[in-house]
């Protein structure tokens, strides 16, 4: 075998190996874009003081929003949008549970949440828990929050900085969609009707 024949042979072998890897051995392209890993197991306490987990919501769609009851504007706005979306759905929304999870468990006791959620919608569920339980739930939903002292205010007074996203979760507990600032009740209700 000449040196030249050897090199040609080697080049062909490498080429074949590349083709084999690309078309025969490489894993197939996924057929469906995987859904983001948002949500998952949580254990919290509802506004009646009952311990609940994500399993208690199986079989129902959830509209999940994280915030806190002392929030001056962002949370009330988001919860009003959720309540309006629920009202737009009417009876078709029976399989949808709107859920408000506090990021301020220190002040948002079940009693505080019970009063607060009733201002927005009769079916709105308020959830709180230990700081650890709330941290775990926020982490599962990739929600950011942080305590911010109020300047020149009472040293015990503080605000909570937090991300403002409405999550739509399916009856299997898996993430379906999310709505950011500026989402309208009409848009959320329309998206839900696609599933209901």
Binding site for Ni ion (CB under 5 A): 67, 71, 74-75
CA neighbor of 53 nearest in space, from 139, 141, 127:
127
Q: How far is the CB of 111 from Ni ion (least distance, A)?
A: 19
- Which of 75, 85 has the CB closer to Ni ion? 75
> CB of 103: closest distance to Ni ion in angstroms?
8
Closer to Ni ion by Cβ: residue 67 or 93: 67
Shortest distance in whole angstroms from residue 74 CB to Ni ion: 4
State the minimum distance, in angstroms, from the CB of residue 157 to Ni ion: 15
CB of 62 or CB of 165, closer to Ni ion: 165
Strand bridging mode 158-162 / 166-169: unpaired
Per DSSP, what are the bridge partners of residue 43?
Answer: 53
Nearer to Ni ion, 43 or 163 (CB): 163
Q: Which of 88, 74, 138, 134 is nearest to 107 (CA)?
A: 134
Q: Is 64 helix (H, G, I), strand (E, B) or coil?
A: strand
d(CA 121, CA 98): 9
Q: In the numeric block, which tokens belong to residue 113?
A: 């949440």
Alpha carbon distance 135, 106 (integer Å) = 12
In the complex, minimum distance from the CB of residue 102 to Ni ion, in angstroms, rounded to a whole number: 10
Identify which of residues 52 and 74 has a Cβ nearer to Ni ion in the complex. Answer: 74
Half-sphere exposure of 110 (CA within 13 A, CB side): 11
Phi, psi of 63, rounded to the nearest 5 degrees: -105, 110
Taking the least distance from each CB to Ni ion, the nearer of 89 and 124 is: 124
- Residue nearest to Ni ion according to CB distances in the complex: 71
Strand 61-67 to 166-169 pairing = antiparallel
Distance in Å, CB of 56 to Ni ion, minimum: 25
Q: Do 160 and 103 touch, CB atoms closer than 8 A? A: yes
């Amino acid at each position: 075998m000449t040196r030249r024949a050897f090199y040609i042979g080697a080049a062909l072998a490498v080429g074949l190996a590349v083709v084999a890897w690309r078309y025969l051995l490489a894993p197939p392209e996924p057929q469906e874009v995987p859904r983001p890993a948002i949500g998952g197991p949580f254990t919290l306490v509802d506004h009646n003081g009952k311990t609940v987990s994500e399993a208690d919501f199986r079989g129902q769609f959830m509209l999940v929003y994280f915030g806190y009851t002392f929030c001056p504007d962002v949370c009330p706005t988001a919860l009003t949008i959720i309540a309006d979306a629920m009202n737009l759905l009417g009876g078709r929304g029976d399989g949808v549970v709107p859920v408000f999870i506090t990021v301020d468990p220190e002040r948002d006791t079940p009693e505080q949440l019970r009063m607060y959620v009733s201002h927005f919608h009769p079916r709105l569920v308020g959830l709180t828990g230990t700081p650890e339980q709330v941290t775990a739930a926020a982490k599962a939903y990739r929600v950011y929050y942080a305590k911010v002292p109020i300047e020149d205010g009472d040293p015990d007074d503080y605000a909570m900085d937090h991300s403002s996203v409405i999550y739509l979760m399916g009856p299997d507990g898996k993430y379906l969609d999310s709505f950011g600032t500026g989402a309208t009740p009409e848009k959320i209700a329309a998206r839900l009707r696609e599933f209901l």
